[in-house]
A = this chain, B = another copy of it.
Amino acid sequence: MAHKVRFALDAMGGDHGPAVVVAGANLALAAHPESEFLFFGNKMLIGPLVDARAALKQVSRIIHTDIAVRMEDKPSQALRYGRWKSSMWLAIDAVKKGEADVVVSGGNTGALMAMAKFALKTLPGIERPAIAALWPTLRGESIVLDLGASIGADAEHLVNLAVMGAAMARILLSLERPTVGLLNIGVEEVKGLEPVREAGRILREEKMPGLDYRGFVEGDDIGRGKVDVVVTEGFAGNIALKTAEGTARQIGEYLKGAMTRSLGAKIGYLFARSAFRQLKERMDPRRANGGVFLGLNGIVLKSHGAADAEGCAAAIGLGYGVVRDELLAKITAAIGRPGKAQRQALGGAAS
């Protein structure tokens, strides 16, 4: 690839604003020296932070704006006052204009999605974008999507999610033909599952070269790593993600409590502290920080609002890989796959 990876960073996004975004970029630069950064936001706040880091300063430019999207705003509100001028909008616009390769923002997810959709538009054949993320499993990592970009899904949308998720898995997990499962529940009532079943039928029959469809999976199969790509609509996907985060935090608290309750436990903790440190790292949500918006004419990454500098650096690092390996071009090629046009012309499967 000819040029460096150029990041458009919404410096005002997230709970901690520029301090974390600039520090995160600095960490990411050490890991990926072939990076350049555009920081969007309040120059008075960002300037001194960048100036204090010589190497970062050399590859950074600050684009000033007074306006920042608030975490509590509805997408419609954010669009109304933040369009054309907020740090979030300007970062997305830089990707649209070709001045940057990828947006990273820790801001309001709904606003980020609404602005990204408005500015970048969806890819041909994709009606609704999705949010995908890496999910740590017992086998390594899987990709789960959609994590909340859209609620409900018809069969065609689920198939598109499978195709986009598989493209992402080929790149980020270095797999030639990732396995794909549709998230479903064991208990059955025929009606509600129809789009999921129909999507399963399409995936089974089309036998696409880039993915290996393995049927339905249940919630407990995600952590087990049963498939490389788990596909679901956004409501259930978001609830699965948040529930897993909550459960991990809950068990972490139990563990902390158990290890301080008795003298024996405290001594045991001392002996095993390097093991506990490893465990903590494995459970660290920062390692998997970064939701990738798929299905748009441009790559947008959502970093967790509460992320610290390391979390922010992980999201930027994810963006680096996604740009270097040309995720966007590969998704665009994959969704234009044969078979789909005929199916849509018949009007059958898409409903």
Interface residues of A (CB under 8 A from B): 74-75, 109-110, 113, 131, 137-138, 148-152, 183, 185-189, 191-193, 218-224, 232, 234-236, 238-251, 253-255, 258-259, 261-262, 264-265, 267-276, 278-279, 282-283
Contacts and interface: CB of A to CB of B under 8 A. Distances in A.
Contacts of A113: 187
Nearest to A220: B246
Contacts of A149: 187, 189
A186 B254 contact: no
Contacts of A240: 219, 239-240, 243
A275 B270 contact: no
A251 B75 CA distance: 36
Contact of A220 (B245, B268, B269): B245
Given A110-B187, A148-B187, A222 B243 contact: yes
B276 A151 contact: no
A220 B243 contact: yes
Contact of A236 (B222, B224, B239, B279): B239
Q: How many copies does the complex hold?
A: 2
24 contacts: A110-B188, A149-B189, A150-B189, A183-B239, A187-B234, A187-B238, A218-B238, A219-B242, A219-B244, A220-B245, A220-B249, A221-B242, A222-B243, A223-B243, A235-B236, A239-B240, A243-B247, A244-B247, A254-B283, A255-B255, A258-B276, A264-B275, A268-B268, A272-B272
Given A189-B150, A269-B268, A244 B244 contact: yes
A238 B185 contact: yes
A272 B279 contact: no
Given A187-B110, A272-B268, A251 B283 contact: yes
Contacts of A151: 185, 189, 191-193
A224 B239 contact: no
Nearest to A151: B192
Nearest to A71: B186
A114 to B, nearest CB: 9
Given A236-B236, A264-B271, 20 more contacts: A149-B187, A151-B192, A185-B242, A192-B235, A218-B239, A219-B239, A219-B242, A220-B246, A223-B246, A224-B250, A244-B247, A247-B251, A251-B283, A258-B275, A259-B275, A261-B275, A262-B274, A264-B274, A268-B275, A269-B272
Contacts of A244: 219, 243-244, 246-247
A187 B109 contact: yes
Contact of A219 (B150, B241, B275): B241
A191 to B, nearest CB: 7
B110 A148 contact: no
A74 B193 CA distance: 14
B192 A152 contact: yes
A138 B253 contact: yes
A246 B221 CA distance: 7
A199 B186 CA distance: 26
Given A109-B186, A268-B275, A223 B247 contact: yes
A258 B272 CA distance: 9
